[in-house]
Amino acid sequence: MARYTDASCRLCRREKQKLFLKGSKCTTDKCAVSKRAFPPGQHGATQIRKKESNYGVQLREKQKVKRLYGLLERQFKHYFRIAEKAKGVTGLTLLQLLERRLDNVIFRMNLASSRAEARQSVQHGLVYVNDKRVDIPSYTVSLGDEITLKTKRDTFVKKVKETQETFKDRAVPKWLQVVPNEFRSKVVAMPTKEDVGFPIQEQLIVELYSK
């Protein structure tokens, strides 16, 4: 599956807020948004004074969420179409689908410093769902699923434990029941908007795609 491979910090600067795409770097003085809180490019500094249209506001919200979860346009639109056809509120269903991605679950379990790092763990075959290896980052977990990160490499185990210690104050969402001292959790509920832990106005995305 295609993915974005360019500089991640440019994405945060374009949205003029931290999307926490670089893990622990985003919490230090090295964060690009902390240094230059304006869009990248030759005329980026002048854009912060521009008033955006309604379409511009909707577009930026969509781009923000898409980049937050590490998706390209085609992938993101696919999720929206599924949410649109499903029963219930389209915006909430969209957020639930994004939250239930396997790479996001590993990130929310604090076993990776960023979603990109979590995606790599999945692709390397280190993640199991109900004791079956799953190496597809976009795999959607379901209610009752048990997710486990397994590895025999001491260096990797040490790295994961260091990540857990670094982000111990980063709350694990209530829909995941994490087993203490183990790289394992269980899906005990469906995600809610509050579980996302990031300010998202999903209705703007629905309005944008409904035009």
Note down pLDDT in tens along the chain; length 211 residues.
Answer: 555 555 555 555 555 665 655 555 545 555 555 455 555 554 455 555 567 789 988 998 999 899 889 999 999 999 999 999 999 999 999 999 999 999 999 999 999 989 999 999 999 999 999 999 999 999 999 999 999 999 888 888 999 999 888 888 888 999 999 998 889 999 999 999 999 988 899 999 999 998 7
| Closest CA relative to residue 108, chosen from 134, 136, 69 | 69
Query: Distance between CA atoms of 158 and 156, rounded to whole angstroms?
Result: 5
Q: What is the pLDDT of residue 16?
A: 60
Same domain, 12 and 94: yes
Q: What was the pLDDT predicted at 61?
A: 92
Q: What CATH code is carried by the domain that includes residue 136?
A: 3.10.290.10
Q: Are residues 21 and 92 in the same domain?
A: yes
The pLDDT value given to residue 125: 94
How far is the C-alpha of 48 from the C-alpha of 39, rounded, in Å?
A: 8
Q: In this structure, are 108 and 50 located in the same domain? A: no
* Segment holding 117, helix H or strand E: helix 115-123
| 91 in the same domain as 165 | no
Q: Are residues 134 and 58 in the same domain?
A: no
- With H, G, I as helix, E, B as strand and everything else as coil, classify residue 140: strand
Residue 201 falls inside a structural domain: no
Q: Report if pTM > 0.85.
A: no
Provide the 3-class DSSP secondary structure of residue 9: helix
pLDDT of amino acid 191: 95
Number of domains in the chain: 2
Looking at the domain assignment, is residue 208 inside a domain?
Answer: no
CATH of the domain at 34: 1.10.1050.10
The two three-digit tokens of residue 85, written as one number: 């056809």
Q: What is the pLDDT of residue 43?
A: 44
**Domain co-membership, 47 together with 114:** no
Question: Dihedral, CA atoms, 92, 93, 99, 102, nearest 10 degrees?
Answer: 180
206 lies in some domain:
no
137 and 116 together in one domain: yes
> What are the distances in angstroms from CA 82 to CA 46, 77, 95, 168, 204?
38, 9, 11, 34, 17
How is residue 3 annotated by DSSP?
-
The residue out of 98, 123, 158 marking a domain boundary is: 98
pLDDT of residue 171: 87
- Domain extent, residue 149, equals 101-190
- Tell which of 80, 98, 116 closes a domain: 98
State residue 42's pLDDT score. Answer: 44
Residues 94 and 105 in one domain: no
Measured from the Cβ of residue 151, the count of other Cβ atoms closer than 10 Å reads 16
Helices and strands (H and E) in the chain: how many: 10, 5
Whether 170 is covered by a domain: the verdict is yes
Burial track 58-81 (b if 16+ CB lie within 10 A, e otherwise): bebbbbbbbbbbbbeeebbeebbe
Query: Is the residue at 25 inside a domain?
Result: yes
In this structure, the answer to whether residues 105 and 186 fall within a common structural domain is: yes
In a domain, 106, yes or no: yes
Pairing label, strands 176-179, 184-187: antiparallel
Rounded to the nearest 10 degrees, the angle between the axes of helix 54-68 and helix 73-85 is 100
The predicted structure's pLDDT at residue 7: 58
The answer to whether 176 and 189 have CB atoms below 8 angstroms apart is no
Q: What is the pLDDT of residue 18?
A: 59
